[in-house]
């Protein structure tokens, strides 16, 4: 490894001078400056980010935790956050939540964005106690150093079920995703509230885990057990809806007629699937941008603006 010392020796100056040159400090006069730069180039020197981070107590890195890299949802979110952070001179890295412990507590980053619901609360609290800024989207906790920016799933879920009721459906089912997930919880609560307002009872409650196969399996079991189909099935995300529809089609149940299906998220597949899936779209790019802004503002001690996600119902063939 070539270090700042090597450069100093090569250029015949002190290491301080090298550092000043590299940081564009005007106190170094042109000729020395050029001498140093020549040495830098000759030796192919690049300063160690680690040493710099140690000294400055700042990494300019923000870490994003995702639960898996496979969610179609994450894709655009990450892309947006990345661009935003870069604009403001931060570097984004993405990691799996099971590495959260080391990254959150060891100060290898200036802040974290939590998209992975599996990161334990006490870990976040520990980090928060160390003055480490976090934007969390999975838990609805607000603390000094933890800002909550979860998706507002409750309202659109409520709205879409209201709509179904208005169109005279009464037997309305709900398919759970991961029940520990906040998103699932809010969607379920929105569903319940709409039913309650019209004195309806949940007609059919299924359990999935947000994956396609879990949706397939859940409805399959329900049907095999001889239960009556709901008129409308509201699934906690699109992927499960797709899985469920796969099975319904296999049984020659006509979707959109024999049963209505509603998803959540508006993933790309929901548009392509046949029949195309009615779902709820969240303005994810705006949301992502807000996440990025918020974490930076926290880090830099600036004021953070609250934000609530916007959504709309996308009506397609299945409802």
Looking at 138-236, list the stretches that DSSP marks H as alpha helix, in order from N- to C-terminal side: 154-166, 182-197, 212-224
The Cβ-side half-sphere exposure at 86, using a 13 Å CA radius, reads: 7
Q: Residue 227 and residue 205: Cα distance in Å, rounded? A: 11
Which residues in the 57-116 window bind DNA by CB under 7 A? 57
Residue 20's binding partner, choosing from DNA, a second copy, none, with beta-carbon cut-off 5 to 8 A by kind? DNA
Residue 116 burial class via C-beta count within 10 angstroms: exposed 0-12, middle 13-18, buried 19 and up: buried
What is the smallest separation between the CB atom of 85 and a second copy, expressed in angstroms?
Answer: 10
Q: Residue 191 and residue 216: Cα distance in Å, rounded? A: 21
Residue 274 burial class via C-beta count within 10 angstroms: exposed 0-12, middle 13-18, buried 19 and up: exposed
> Residue 193 corresponds to which tokens in the numbers above?
């509230």
What is the smallest separation between the CB atom of 297 and DNA, expressed in angstroms?
Answer: 21
- Pick from 4, 13, 92, 134: which binds a second copy (CB under 8 A)? 92
CA dihedral 230, 233, 236, 238 (to 10 degrees): 150
Would you say 82 or 176 has its CB closer to a second copy?
82
Residue among 283, 248, 241, 244 at smallest CA distance from 263: 241
What is the smallest separation between the CB atom of 232 and DNA, expressed in angstroms?
Answer: 56
Residue 107 burial class via C-beta count within 10 angstroms: exposed 0-12, middle 13-18, buried 19 and up: middle
What is the smallest separation between the CB atom of 274 and a second copy, expressed in angstroms?
Answer: 5
Window contacting a second copy (CB under 8 A); options: 32-40, 104-112, 214-222, 225-233: 104-112
CA quadruple 223, 225, 230, 235: dihedral positive or negative? negative
Check binding of 254 to a second copy (CB under 8 A).
Answer: no
Q: Residue 191 and residue 275: Cα distance in Å, rounded? A: 23
Would you say 13 or 298 has its CB closer to DNA?
13
Contacts with a second copy, 271-290, as mask; x by CB under 8 A:
-xxx----------------
Window contacting a second copy (CB under 8 A); options: 25-33, 124-132, 146-154, 298-306: 124-132
- Pick from 5, 41, 79, 166: which binds a second copy (CB under 8 A)? 79
Q: Residue 195 and residue 264: Cα distance in Å, rounded? A: 18
Contacts with DNA, 4-43, as mask; x by CB under 7 A:
xx------xxxxxx-xx-xx--xxxx-xxx----------
Pairing verdict, β 146-148 and 172-176: unpaired
Window contacting DNA (CB under 7 A); options: 44-52, 122-130, 141-149, 240-248: 44-52
Chain residues in the site for DNA (CB under 7 A): 1, 3-5, 12-17, 19-20, 22-23, 26-29, 31-33, 45, 47-48, 51-52, 54-57
Chain residues in the site for a second copy (CB under 8 A): 1-2, 44, 46-51, 53-54, 57, 59, 63, 68-70, 72, 74-76, 78-79, 82, 86, 91-96, 98-99, 102-103, 105-108, 126, 129-130, 242, 268-269, 272-274
């Amino acid at each position: 490894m070539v270090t700042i010392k090597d450069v100093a020796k090569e250029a015949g100056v002190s290491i301080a001078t090298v550092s000043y040159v590299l940081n564009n400090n005007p106190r170094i006069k042109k000729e020395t400056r050029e001498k140093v730069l020549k040495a830098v180039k000759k030796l192919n020197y690049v300063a160690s980010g680690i040493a710099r981070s140690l000294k400055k107590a700042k990494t300019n890195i923000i870490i994003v935790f995702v639960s898996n890299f496979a969610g179609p949802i994450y894709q655009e979110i990450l892309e947006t956050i990345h661009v935003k952070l870069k604009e403001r001179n931060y570097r984004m890295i993405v990691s799996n939540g099971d590495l959260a412990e080391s990254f959150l507590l060891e100060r290898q980053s200036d802040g974290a964005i939590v998209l992975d619901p599996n990161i334990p609360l006490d870990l976040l609290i520990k980090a928060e106690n160390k003055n480490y800024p976090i934007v969390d989207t999975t838990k609805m906790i607000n603390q000094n150093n933890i800002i909550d920016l979860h998706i507002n799933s409750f309202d659109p879920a409520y709205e879409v079920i209201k709509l179904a009721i208005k169109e005279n459906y009464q037997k309305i089912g709900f398919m759970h995703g991961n029940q520990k997930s906040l998103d699932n919880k809010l969607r379920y609560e929105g569903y319940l509230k709409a039913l309650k307002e019209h004195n309806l009872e949940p007609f059919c409650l299924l359990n999935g885990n947000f994956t396609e196969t879990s949706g397939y399996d859940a409805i399959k079991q329900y049907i095999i057990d001889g239960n009556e189909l709901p008129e409308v099935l509201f699934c906690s995300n699109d992927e499960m809806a797709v899985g469920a529809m796969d099975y319904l089609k296999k049984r020659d149940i006509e979707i959109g007629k024999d049963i209505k299906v509603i998803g959540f998220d508006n993933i790309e597949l929901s548009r392509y699937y046949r029949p195309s899936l009615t779902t709820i779209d969240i303005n994810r790019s705006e949301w992502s941008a807000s996440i990025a802004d918020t974490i930076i503002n926290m880090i830099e001690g600036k004021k953070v603006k609250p934000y609530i996600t916007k959504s709309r119902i996308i009506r397609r063939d299945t409802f």
